[in-house]
Structure 1
Amino acid sequence: MNTAKLKVPVRFLFEGQFQHLLLLACLVPGAIYLALPALDGSLWLGIPDQTWFYLSIILAIVHQVVGWFVFRFQLVFSLFSRLFGKYDMVVWGIIFFPLILLRPILTLGVGLADSGSLGSFRVFQIIAGIVLLIPAIYTGWSIEKYFGVPRALGGDHFRQKYREMPLVKEGAFKYSSNAMYAFAFFLFWAIALLTGSRAALASALFQHAYIWVHMYCTENPDMEIIHGKKFGR
């Protein structure tokens, strides 16, 4: 197991996190403001749209705070490698995948509970939703084929071999080195448009904006430490 430890000062744990909190404090009220007119207590699976919406926001925050914790404590202290040895990335995957899979499920819950709140032009909404679904699916396929799931998990925080790999330029990554953030999150927009839900659209906007907060406040500083320069995964 090649886990060459980087020499990272403890103060780096919170690098960029003041900006993270500041931007989050702006994004959450904005998302709530956009969603509130549509949140009327409509149900899906017996759960009101307000609950689905707030859970989608809370889960996104929890997911990305957990991502910060794992990445930074791994870089500074090799925490997961010390605790779990060669299974460090397996444990991280067990934490990560339920969180990432629940996010579109909760967004779908918002959309189905709040279905139709976007009003007229349903044909346009459905067409736009299908169009946005295409790059999201293509990006998922590109991650599996060209990028690799371990690397997408943040393998360069754990293993030297991932730090030495060149940038991926195939598939969706041909159009953006940040394809995972730029295109994959169109899935949330597609769900909102296909269900015709204003509240789901507000959640999608929040989640897509917030992943870029993670990129610039957590990932980019990490990349400077790991690779000596800023670039996207």
Structure 2
Amino acid sequence: MEEVQVVVAHSERATLRVGDVFLKIDSDQANIDVEVEAMALAPIPTPQILWRKPPVLAIAAVPGTALGVLGEPSPASPAAWAAAGAAIRALHDAPLPPWPGGNLDDITAHLDGECDWLISSGVLPKELVTRNREVAEAALRPWTPVFIHGDLQITHVFVDGDKVTGVIDWSEASQGDALFDLAILTLGHEEHLADVIAGYGADVDLDVIRGWWSLRSLGASRWLVEHGFDPNSPGCEFDVLRSRM
């Protein structure tokens, strides 16, 4: 009998694994709608959809292993990271999805609100938050929208050897900044940025990448804390923020 593995669970959604089947349960069906359509549109490997019966989406496991996890050295080769960069470029070169992403004003307002909370709650020192808010400014500029994954964490890209076998978790896909995807993939793994850029095959503004690292870490920390995750774990978001000092 297959065991039921809880992959992630919090008040908004849960993902269970039973053998080679993942069951995604989401309180907001709009997230699942986006995920299903984005996987159909993406020109790169995505999981096979087995069935859908709201609020559950069943998908098949993709072959291979994740590039790694945040806070630990990646076991993947430089060529595998470069292949991930090439896959991202193929996605960014694809036609835009029909739904928009976040706008610059909303992103800035959210960032400033999260910075205020981090300081007023005493979670992080004021000088650390202030410095990273300065770094984040580089990302807060107009961009030409592309088809982005929107949550391209290292755990969401699977490889077998030097080949990308699947990219999972598409519920935040949208039109957005290409450098956001590159930054999220390399968050906490700066040593692999050059490999990703080599595979991506385009000039990249490193200040903007660093800006997105700071912005993402500042903007996600309260959510992580309130949902039982620890951004202060070695190599995770707080260490990313400290590295900018």
TM score, norm. by length of structure 1: 0.30
| Structure number with higher relative contact order (C-alpha < 8 Å, ≥ 6 residues apart) | 1
Q: Which has the higher helix share?
A: 1
Structure number with greater Rg is 1
Q: Which has the higher strand share?
A: 2
TM score, norm. by length of structure 2: 0.29
